[in-house]
Chains A and B, each alone.
Chain A
Amino acid sequence: MELDIVDLSRLQFALTALYHFLFVPLTLGLSIMLAIMETVYVMTDRPIWRQMTKFWGVLFGINFVVGVATGIVMEFQFGMNWSYYSHYVGDIFGAPLAIEGLMAFFLEATFVGLFFFGWDKMSKRGHLTATWAVAIGSNLSALWILIANGWMQNPVGSAFNFDTMRMEVTDFAAVLFNPVAQAKFVHTVSAGYVTAAVFVLGVSAWYLLKGRHIALAKRSMAVAASFGLASALSVVVLGDESGYLSTEHQKMKLAAIEAMWHTEPAPAAFTVVGIPDQEDRETHYAVHIPWVMGLIGTRSINTEIPGIEELVELAKVRIRQGITAFDALQQIRSLPPGDPVPGNLRKTFEDNGHELGYALLLKRYVDDPRNASEEEITKAAWDTVPGVLPLFWTFRIMVGLGFFFILLMGVFFVLSAQHTLEKRRWLLWVAVFSIPLPWIAAESGWFVAEFGRQPWIIEGVLPTAAAVSDLGAGTVLMTIIGFVLIYTTLFIIEMGLMVAAIRKGPDPEEEPESPAISSHVVPAE
């Protein structure tokens, strides 16, 4: 298989983003859980809560640092591998990234040092402030990143400027309050909370199974189950909101996720399982539930959801409109410098400029989109369909896991209130083996959002293929190998330290009441 620079750059970004996103969700959730535990400590003055904060804090630290190290890579890569993208949308996209640094990351990174080093150097309340600052900082960080990402999915508040040949901001408030960004933010941080809750629940369950650190494990479990139940519910509800917004803003993504090849009479059926076939444009062995898709997607019984083929027809219209815009742009640029732009030309561009991106889809087939043949327009229109099979399945994995987390957290919430946990050892094992699942769900979610956006890097504005830097394929291949090597090494080391820290358990000098409580529990071995 021949990989070109676009494929390689996408591969590198996907690898580094998916890897970074192994560490982020746990940071988001665990920072909040640490702050909750320490708040209980400051309010009740019971040392066990301090021990819990410190113990989970050690695991937080091991995870956090890799998130920080790999986050820098993300910020640099836009410029390194996607330089035309950086030029084209930096005026809008750069601002949230910079504000993230100013408002969020500074807070998080400055106070994380105090969290670890400040226990004996400041008052209890002072330290609690530092812990909350870390939690708020990391969550605000996610807000700004998702405002940036939300704009890639739904590019509001901006327009193309032909003097500078790039998109420029026209309404910053629209970028900020982009409904897609807001829905994504709450969905993503909730997913992070679930990740941390499942992690704490699973590790605590393992301690109960081994009969170790009972006091710490039980209390941690209670925190995890209640925090996790609320988060698991919110992740599904807000995920549904994201989906609903896609009906409005990213129709093609939704149609691909649902493998809706044709528009169906409203309300459309939901395909539970099946094998979508991109070439035949149908889904084999499909199992449908009538009405459900229409109800979720439109929240009504009489609104149609457009299918893939109809959206492709629509894309052809938009491509033609894009060609008109492209033509006007070329005429404007061929005017001698300093000459005023004639009114009719300006109007043509303003009327059609929002579809300029669709003309750029043709660049894959012709140098000048104005010379595109009917056949090439059809091909470019079909390029707007992302890979249906992988989207269909990753989405179902994510949603299935989302419902499983509600069940898991619900069961543990009830049981930890009834103090009957130790008797149900198989359930504890379920919690232990559930630890990897939130990561699978989170990475699937990333895949659905970003792979589902293809072929666009910015929906409807700039095709991914046009956005790359002018680099040699060999150079990018080399850095991919470099990243894979260092990331794999780092992953092995990180997992080793995590497992070692979990085996070691909390600092015994900090463990105030363990012997008394654990004496009535039969050890596992």
Chain B
Amino acid sequence: MILHDLISYDVLRLIWWGLLGILLIGFAVTDGFDLGTGTLLPFVARNDLERRVVINSVGPVWEGNQVWLILGGGAIFAAWPPLYAVSFSGFYLAMFAILFALILRPVGFKYRSKRESPTWRRNWDWALFIGSFVPALIFGVAVGNVLQGVPFRFNSDLRIFYDGTFFGLLNPFALLCGLVSVSMLIMHGGAWLVLKTQGDVRERARNYGSIAAIATIALFVLAGAYIWAFVDGYRIVGSIDPVGPSNPLVKSVEMGEGIWLGNYGTYPWMMAAPILGIVAAFLAFILLRIRLEGLTVIVSGLSIVGIISTVGASMFPFILPSSLMPKASLTVWDASSSHLTLFIMLVVTAIFVPIILVYTAWVYRVLWGKVDEDEISGGKSHAY
């Protein structure tokens, strides 16, 4: 095999670190407005027709959006096997809670309006709320724990041992990150609803969305301050071989205050990420108030891009630090797949992602426009 030497191992690892970020961002931006919409469902829609309008606003697209998560899972497995193995088994019960929610959600969308019974529909509305709110919260909580380091270690066979508990995940900083995640997705979902609905629903969505935009800024800044004051960062001591084998145990790592902010000193351009997160959220707030609906959802999406990129930039080159055995921390340079696998997966991605973007854009264009109340109550063309 000579072909894969075209791109050196360290460059491939960097590219896959970037792709990991893009996948997570793709998920948060597309499925994010569904999660935000589902979380807002009980608050912006007060009767059955309004609720159906809200559900149908994401009805045709949630399924495609959710694939970002499935693709993210698959890509982590393929490109970062140790990350997949440690995080999914370590966060076992949190993952189960997410699965539980993600089982309720598709079924809720599909089944809710299949029966007239108000009790049936009310139960599914709650299922949709839980199925949207819980993942939004847990994804944030997970990021909060990753930033603090996770209590895992390897033995010499690279078998994984995890010393934490489910309730240990629910510490103050992690919950703060959970709130950042929830408020940013509500902002995004609100922006989506303002675009896709009319009348009372739109006005309520506008209010919740703009409150959430301000809350996102406040909570994000607070989380940054908390990191600066209380959260120990991680740093590689000595050298690490960027083209070395993926064995996390051959390096040394130290912990210390303020390290997570160090990258911004070394690479000042990385400041673009947090600035984008804050400025775009503020712009989303303004646009919501001055009623420029078409742009809002793009701007709120950009805020999500900024916020998630901030996490990646702060931790680089760390991906999953270990608080129990710092040298076992997973980094860009020692937690990837082999050179050949990364290359093959890059080729496949380069071929298929453009195709996916083209047909997804086409589908959104076909479905463009407001959800029509008369169409839903007439019961003709809508499935939900």
Contacts and interface: CB of A to CB of B under 8 A. Distances in A.
Interface in B59-114: 59-64, 66-67, 69-71, 73-79, 81-82, 84-89, 92-93, 95-96, 99-100, 102-107, 109-111, 114
Contacts of A102: 71, 74, 348-349, 352-353, 356
B77 A168 contact: no
B107 A86 contact: no
Interface string B322-360: 000000000000000110110011001100110010011
B162 interface: yes
Given A91-B338, A121-B366, A169-B341, A98 B111 contact: no
B250 interface: yes
Contact of A471 (B73, B74, B89, B245): B89
Interface in A444-469: 469
A93 interface: yes
Given A73-B99, A75-B70, A490-B107, A117 B382 contact: yes
B103 A80 contact: no
A91 B63 contact: no
B367 interface: yes
A101 B59 contact: no
B17 to A, nearest CB: 16
B106 A337 contact: no
Nearest to A62: B110
Nearest to B86: A83
A242 to B, nearest CB: 26
| Most central of B59, B107, B340, B366 by chain A CB within 10 Å | B107
B381 A76 contact: no
Contacts of B82: 87, 90
B67 A106 contact: yes
Contact of B74 (A69, A80, A87, A98): A98
A486 interface: yes
A70 interface: yes
B106 A470 contact: no
A69 B89 contact: no
A279 interface: no
A13 interface: no
A471 B66 CA distance: 28
A175 B114 CA distance: 44
B88 A80 contact: yes
A169 B339 CA distance: 9
A73 B66 CA distance: 13
Interface residues of A, number: 75
B222 interface: no
B171 interface: no
Contact of B157 (A71, A165, A478, A479): A165
A76 B338 contact: no
A97 B77 contact: yes
A34 B176 CA distance: 48
Given A90-B337, A113-B63, A497-B114, A95 B356 contact: no
B362 to A, nearest CB: 9
A27 to B, nearest CB: 13
Contacts of B352: 102-103, 106
Contacts of B160: 83-84, 87, 469-470
A471 B92 contact: yes
B8 interface: no
Contact of B367 (A78, A121, A479, A501): A121
A86 B100 contact: no
Contacts of B309: none
A76 B104 CA distance: 16
A469 B55 CA distance: 38
Interface in A268-303: none
A69 B70 contact: no
B377 interface: no
A61 B88 contact: no
Contacts of A121: 366-367, 381
Given A79-B89, A110-B360, A165-B247, A98 B345 contact: yes
B230 interface: no
| Most central of B84, B99, B156, B380 by chain A CB within 10 Å | B99
B366 A72 contact: no
Contacts of B360: 106, 110
B218 interface: no
A86 B84 contact: yes
Contacts of A73: 99, 103
B261 to A, nearest CB: 31
A50 B88 CA distance: 45
Contacts of A469: 89, 92, 160
A66 B102 CA distance: 11
A433 B110 CA distance: 28
B300 interface: no
Nearest to B246: A164
A55 to B, nearest CB: 13
A131 B295 CA distance: 32
Nearest to B339: A168
B85 A87 contact: yes
Interface string A101-131: 1110111011111101111111000100000
A108 to B, nearest CB: 8
Given A72-B69, A109-B66, A168 B367 contact: no
Contact of A110 (B59, B63, B349): B63
A469 B90 CA distance: 9
A475 B107 contact: no
A497 B111 contact: yes
B71 A65 contact: no
Nearest to B90: A83
Given A113-B64, A114-B366, A117-B381, A72 B70 contact: yes
Nearest to B157: A165
B216 to A, nearest CB: 27
13 contacts: A61-B110, A80-B88, A87-B160, A90-B78, A109-B64, A111-B363, A113-B61, A117-B383, A165-B247, A168-B338, A470-B160, A479-B92, A501-B114
7 interchain residue pairs of minimum CB distance = A90-B81, A79-B88, A94-B78, A113-B60, A94-B77, A98-B74, A101-B71
Given A72-B103, A90-B337, A486-B100, 4 more contacts: A79-B77, A102-B74, A113-B367, A168-B337
